[in-house]
Structures are given as C-alpha cells and as structure tokens.
C-alpha cells in the first residue's frame, strides 16, 4: 500500500455529500427541539434604554425571549493559550449588558416552536436606544491610529536603515494600496444546536475548532470539561470566520438552559455580515528603492488597518514582505484604528492576502520603472534565506515555480509595453506575482485502532471544513497501516477524540498527519511484536526490523510468503483489536508571532505512549528552530479587457506551487483553484459597503456582495513542484488551504495594467476605474 500518498483518489466522504448523508450542524433535530432567532442592534454606538418584548411574547408558540436582563451570567474566558479557544470579542460577551458597539450586535434571542414563529416574533421586539456618534470610517480617522499591543515585536520589524537607503537610491517608488472590508461568505451559515441533559451539555456547531469551542464553553459557563461535548462532523466552508467563536453558539447554549429544551440557532446570510467577523480594511504604503540593475536596497511596508472597540485583531499585511525578497534595509510597521464595527478575524490567508497584493503590485510598478521583466526583477532579488530571522528556509523551489509558470502562460510571447497587445477588440494583458504563506504546524494527537476483521479506525479532534481532510488523513493512515483505503475509517470533528489542530492557518495537514501516521505505525509495531513472540506465527523469532506490513499482512522483507494476515494473528491471539495513540508536540510557529495558531493539547495516555513511539521520537528530534517554514509559488494571469466598457475577463490563470509533498493531487488542485478564485474576487468584485451616514452594512447578501461565479472562471493550469519538505514532518507535506489566494490578486491587477496602461491601487478594480 506504499503508493497511496499522492494519488488523486476520490473523496472518501463524496458519496455522503452528494446523497445527503453528510449531516451538517443545522441538520440535527433533538427531540422536543425549539428554534432560536437573534435580534440585532440597528445602531452603531450607544446603549439600550429599554427593550420591550411584550408583543413578541404573546405570539403563539414563543417559549422564551432572552436579553441582557434575564440571561445567565458568563465568565470572561480564562487562559492565554490559543489552543484553549478564541472568543472573537473578548470585551463583549453576549447579552451581558446594555452597551452597543456596532451595527448588528446581538441584543436578544427569541425561541419558538417553529422557525417561522421565532422569526416573526423577533421582528416584534421593540428597542429604544440612547444613541452616540460612532466612528466607522478608516480613512477619515487615521489620526486615531496606534501601535497594537498584541503581536509584540513581530508587528514592527526593522533591519538596516530603510529611510537612508531610500534617500540615496538610484531608483525608487512610493505608492499607497488599499483593500476594502471583505466577508467570508461560506456556503454554510453559522449554525448551532445545544441540548442539556442534566448537567451534561451536547453541542453541534459549525466550527473550525471543536476543542476550542468546548474549552470556551467550559470557561465561560463554569462547566466541567467532562460534561461538555462539541461535534462538527461536516462544515460547509469557514475561511476563518468559523475559526473564532462568535455569539451564536454561546447564545444557543444559554437559550437551551433557559427554556429547558434543545435549541437550534442558524444565522441568516444577512446576519453573517455583522455578527461573524470579516477581513479588515487596509491602507498600505509601500516604498521600494533599488540600484539601476534592479537590486533592492530598501523596502518599507506600512499597514494601517482597523479593529473594533471590543477586541484587537491585527491584519498582519507586512509580515510576508519581511522575508520575501533579499534586501539589506527593510522596515515593516502595523497600526490600528478602532471603529464601531464587528471585530475583524482571520480570513483566508490573513495578512498575506492583502499584503502580497500590495508588495507584488509595487514590485510590478518598480519593474516597469526600471524597464525590466517582472520575473527578472524577482530573480535578481531572490532570497536564499529568511533574512529577517536569519534562518534557512526548510525548503524553497520558487525559481522553478517562476520558470514553469512562465512557460505555461506563454510569458515569452508577451510584449512588454502596456496596451500593446490585442485579441480582436479586447486589450490583452499578462501579469504575475509571487505567492507565499507560512508552513504552520502545531501539537496534535490521534488514536489508531486495528480490529480483528482487518479494518482500522482513526480518531482525531480536528475537522474537515470541506477541504478534503477526511480523504488525505485516510491516505496517510492507510499507507502506514498497510491497508487499502476502503479498510480505513477516519473520524474527526468530535471533542471527545484526542485533541488536534484547529482548521486554520493551513496547519491541519502538517499537524495532524504526523500523529495519525505515528499512531498507525504504533499499532503495526504492536502487531509485529505479537507475531515475533508467538511460537505459532510464521514470523516467530524474526527480528522486528526485518518485518514489513502491506496489504493487510505482515511478512519478512523480500519474502511475501513468509508471513500472515492481521486477522489471522489477532484471531489466534483472541484479540478483538489493537490500539495506539500518538501526540507530536511540534510547532513551527514563532511564539512571539501575531495572531498565533492554537497549540492544541491531548490526554495523558497519548502523551505517555508517544515517549516510546519511534515515529514520534524521530519526528520530534528535528531541530526546527534552525529553519524558517514557508510555502512558495508563482501566479500568472492573462486578462482580456474591453476598452469601451472597461469589463475585465480573466482568460487564463496559472499557478505553480511549492508546498512540499502532495498527498492527493485532486484535492490539492481543488484547494489551489479555490484560493485563486478568491483572489479573482478580491481583485475585481468583492468589497463590503457601509452607509456613510451611520456605519450600517449596506451589502448584506450575495445579490449585493459579488463573488466570482462559473461565468467568471478562466482556464486554470495548476501545477506542483511536489518535493517533500524534509524538516516540517516525516510526511513532508505543508498546508495548501491559503497560499492559492496569495499573489493572485496582484497578478490580476498587474495584468490589467499591462493590458490598459492604467494602474488601479484601490481594490476592487471595477469597470468605472478603467473607462
């Protein structure tokens, strides 16, 4: 079975999903369940003077209405370990007081026998506000910016003297690039179902972190960990919004306690625009200096973004710039302005998505200023190491990405002059950009069980948010166990399983794959030990290291006939199953980094068993402090622009990615394609609009918030270097959920400039900016 990894096998959960057998959080129906609907604020700042629920309470079928006046008291989350879960707004616990900090804030919940009755009654709740003047526009409040306290020194980076280098430079450019607020808009809305059974709490929640939600519930409600269980077997996309915990699951649990019945609460699409996070708006000032040959002598990347008045989230747009190119003088800074809006949160490639747009658009501008090929400019400034941290990259094959991408898009046929190429009436443009994202890994655990009938089961409390995690973890386990894929079942999304990585930061593959592999190898090691000590086994007396496992059998290396099946051995020994647990306590994260990924945790059994597991020990003996862990890639785009109408069509998009070992070619291509589509949306369509008079969200559904659809799709060409990273894990794979969006936005914008000669620095590039 040693050829399973990398194969483009179909998703193991595919049939369940297309047949309706995959149960999402909103699809659980506990007995005697009622429906909850949220009531949201209609002002952006102030307090509730009075909230009148009398009329709503008289609606037949309403069983309870919860406000700050009658809700249970919550505790502020304890502990600083991100693995314990992240509540999105640490200074605004739901329904605890009368303060309003932003439009769409949760102020009440109505529970009724049917959803329709709850929704109708929610509209009858009357609220009298004492309004205050909100602050909601970033550009007009830059004077209120400050250096954030979270993230520490990693947000303000400096090497050399960038200002001095800029003053003496042969060539320099300085420009400002802006990105709007973006919303996640996952297909599945946020949904929670809560059921109390005495002091036992069961929660089904659409989350990227079942263990994180459990920890928060334990902390905020003062519960015992063994009394709480959180399940999220299938998630219809998250993109970061479901990585933090928002009010809806907390309110659902509180409501179920109040009405003494199970409660289901599902956000509407409109509610998701104000109660479940967003990407920060950014204003990024880039200054580049070089000599006449294009060698960079200075880089400055200053980012101003915004957060809320109830928490502090930093869009770390400049961090990638600190290591992306070789340059002796670099200065990175981040500032925040607090606004009366819902708190921002991670959105696919947080920091890198808007940040690579700005730095890669600036690099394109410098290339044109130098009359230099944009690829050549990047090669001249190729970074052989992470110069900011003075560490070697764990692996980097970016030059090959540039070459293969250029060949695939037909870069050699590109005329370098803007507005010089046509196809019929369309202006033709080619653009490119570098892609990059952190290669994250955090502590995770798993349990493997081999049964006497020859099938195996893997348990781990990570999640599959629609990306294919069930499938690649099945492939990893099957290869380690020496079993066909259809004999291995991977179970995820249950907080009772061994604790593992949250589904964010492109970390699940690198974090959870190794302990699954180690646990599976641990089972095989126990199996082999049984065989060599069993006088009835054909393997009796052989050295354990001379025995291998494959196709459901263990046998002497190079002697397939000298062995026996797993089932024969286990049945003869009277064993129904063999179990092994493993925890890999490994992290590639800088502990001082901004917005660190959760570190996870695990039960003592897996911790203890891992001390004697050779696969775990080999993995943990690598000194990862010596390396900088990143993935790299190159994005190339061809666009067609109508010179009369200003419409832009992305005609072809090429991505060549260096992301370590590819575990499943089919799901990997799907992930990169999804990221590229996100990048097209950022460049051309997406952006949340706010009412300039009161700060309320205007674009509240997918009819107004535009995302790319099938008609917008280009021809995709997605390729992988497929070289294992030797230091990130024994598997050699890095996460790929986010790198596909990085660089893509800049590649589109750069192609538009090549086609039209018009440089748009304020996203999105709508047709009015090109006419």
Catalytic positions are 738
Strands ordered across the beta sheet of 391-393: 385-386, 391-393, 627-628
- DSSP string computed for 74-122: -PPPP-S-GGG--BS-TT--TTSSSEE-STT-EEEEEEESSHHHHHHHH
**Rounded distance, CA 487 to CA 478, Å?**
8
Question: CA-CA distance, 429 to 750, in Å (whole number)?
Answer: 8
Paired with 430 in beta bridges are 638
CA angle 767, 341, 701 (to 5 degrees): 50
DSSP string across 16-43:
HHHHT-S--GGG---TT-EEEEEEE-SS
Strand, coil or helix: 514: helix
Contacts of 51 (CB under 8 A, 6+ apart): 67, 69, 107, 108, 125, 126, 127, 128
419: phi > 0 → left, psi -120 to 50 → alpha, else beta; which?
A: left
Mutual orientation of helices 210-221 and 247-259 as an angle, nearest 10°?
Answer: 50
454, 488 Cβ separation under 8 angstroms: no
d(CA 98, CA 366): 52
Q: Which residues pair with 448 in a beta bridge?
A: 458, 580
Return the exposure string of 327-338: e unless at least 16 CB atoms fall within 10 Å of the residue's CB, then b: bebbbbbbbbbb
How many Å apart are CA 151 and CA 314, to the nearest integer? 8
CA dist 297 and 501 (Å) reads 40
Please say whether the beta carbons of 45 and 133 come within 8 A: yes
Which tokens hold the place of 99? Answer: 């303060």
Q: Are the beta carbons of 495 and 722 closer than 8 angstroms?
A: no
Three state DSSP letters for 116-179: HHHHHHHCCCEEEEEECCCCCCCHHHHHHCECCCCCHHHHCEEECCHHHHHHCCCEEEEEEEEE
Rounded-to-5 percentages of helix, strand, coil across the chain = 30, 25, 45
């Amino acid at each position: 079975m040693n050829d399973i990894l990398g194969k483009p096998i179909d998703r193991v959960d595919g049939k369940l999903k297309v047949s309706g057998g995959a149960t999402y959080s909103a699809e659980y129906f506990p007995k005697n369940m009622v429906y909850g609907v949220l009531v949201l604020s209609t002002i952006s700042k102030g307090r509730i003077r009075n909230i009148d629920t009398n009329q709503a309470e008289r609606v037949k079928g309403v069983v309870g209405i919860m406000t700050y006046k009658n809700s249970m008291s919550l505790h502020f989350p304890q502990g600083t370990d991100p693995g314990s879960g992240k509540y999105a707004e640490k200074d605004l616990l739901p329904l605890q007081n009368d303060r309003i900090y932003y439009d769409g804030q949760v102020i009440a919940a109505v529970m009724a026998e049917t959803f329709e009755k709850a929704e109708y009654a929610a509209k009858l709740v009357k609220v009298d506000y004492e309004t205050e003047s909100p602050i909601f526009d970033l550009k007009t409040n830059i004077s209120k910016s400050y250096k954030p306290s979270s993230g520490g020194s990693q947000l303000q980076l400096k090497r050399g003297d960038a200002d001095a280098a800029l003053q003496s430079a042969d060539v320099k450019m300085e420009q400002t690039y802006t990105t709007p607020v973006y919303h996640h808009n996952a297909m599945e809305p946020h949904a929670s179902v809560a059921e109390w059974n005495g002091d036992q709490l069961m929660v089904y929640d659409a989350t990227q972190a079942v263990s994180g939600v459990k920890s928060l519930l334990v902390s905020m409600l003062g519960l015992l960990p063994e009394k709480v269980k959180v399940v999220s077997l299938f998630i219809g996309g998250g993109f970061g919004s479901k990585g933090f915990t928002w009010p809806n699951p907390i309110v659902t649990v509180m409501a179920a306690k109040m009405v003494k019945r199970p409660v289901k609460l599902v956000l509407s699409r409109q509610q998701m625009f104000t109660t479940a996070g967003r990407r920060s708006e950014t204003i990024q000032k880039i200054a580049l200096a070089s000599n006449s040959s294009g060698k960079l002598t200075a880089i400055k990347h200053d980012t101003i973004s915004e957060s809320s008045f109830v928490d502090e989230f930093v869009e770390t747009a400049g961090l990638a710039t600190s290591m992306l190119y070789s340059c002796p003088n670099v200065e990175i800074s981040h500032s925040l302005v607090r606004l009366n809006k819902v708190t921002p949160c991670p959105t696919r490639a947080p920091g890198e998505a808007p940040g690579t747009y700005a730095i890669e658009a600036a690099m394109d501008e410098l290339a044109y200023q130098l009359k230099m090929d944009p690829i050549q400019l990047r090669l001249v400034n190729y970074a052989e190491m992470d110069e900011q941290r003075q560490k070697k990259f764990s692996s980097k094959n970016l030059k090959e990405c540039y070459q293969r991408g250029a060949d695939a898009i037909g870069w050699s046929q590109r005329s370098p002059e803007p507005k010089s190429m046509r196809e019929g009436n369309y202006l033709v443009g080619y653009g490119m950009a570098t892609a990059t994202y952190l290669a994250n890994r955090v502590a995770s655990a798993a349990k493997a069980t081999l049964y006497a009938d020859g099938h195996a089961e893997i348990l781990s409390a990570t999640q599959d948010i629609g990306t294919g995690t069930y499938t690649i973890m099945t492939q990893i386990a099957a290869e380690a166990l020496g079993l066909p894929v259809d004999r291995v079942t991977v179970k995820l999304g249950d907080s009772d399983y061994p604790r593992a990585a949250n589904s964010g930061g492109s970390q699940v593959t690198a974090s959870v794959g190794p302990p699954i592999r180690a646990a599976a190898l641990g089972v095989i090691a126990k199996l082999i030990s049984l065989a060599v000590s069993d006088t009835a086994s054909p393997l009796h007396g052989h050295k354990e290291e001379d025995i291998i496992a494959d196709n459901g059998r263990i046998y002497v290396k190079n002697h397939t006939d000298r062995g026996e099946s797993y089932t024969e051995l286990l049945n003869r020994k009277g064993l129904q199953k063999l179990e092994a647990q493993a925890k890999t306590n490994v992290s590639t994260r800088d502990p001082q980094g901004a917005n660190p990924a959760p570190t996870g945790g695990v039960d003592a059994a897996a911790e203890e068993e891992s001390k004697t597991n050779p696969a775990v020990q080999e993995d943990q003996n690598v000194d990862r402090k010596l390396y900088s862990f990143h993935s790299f890639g190159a994005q190339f785009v061809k666009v067609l622009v109508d010179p009369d109408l200003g419409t832009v069509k992305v005609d072809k998009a090429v991505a060549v990615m260096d992301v370590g070992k590819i575990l499943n070619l089919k799901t990997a291509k799907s992930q990169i394609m999804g990221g590229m589509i996100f990048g097209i949306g950022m460049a051309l369509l997406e952006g949340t609009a706010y009412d300039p008079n009161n700060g309320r969200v205007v674009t509240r559904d997918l009819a107004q918030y535009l995302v790319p659809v099938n008609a917008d799709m280009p021809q995709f060409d997605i390729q992988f270097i497929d070289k294992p990273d030797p230091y990130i894990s024994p598997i050699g794979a890095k996460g790929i959920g986010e790198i596909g969006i990085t660089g893509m936005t800049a590649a589109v914008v750069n192609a538009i400039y090549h086609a039209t000669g018009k440089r748009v620095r304020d996203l999105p590039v709508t047709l009015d900016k090109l006419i």
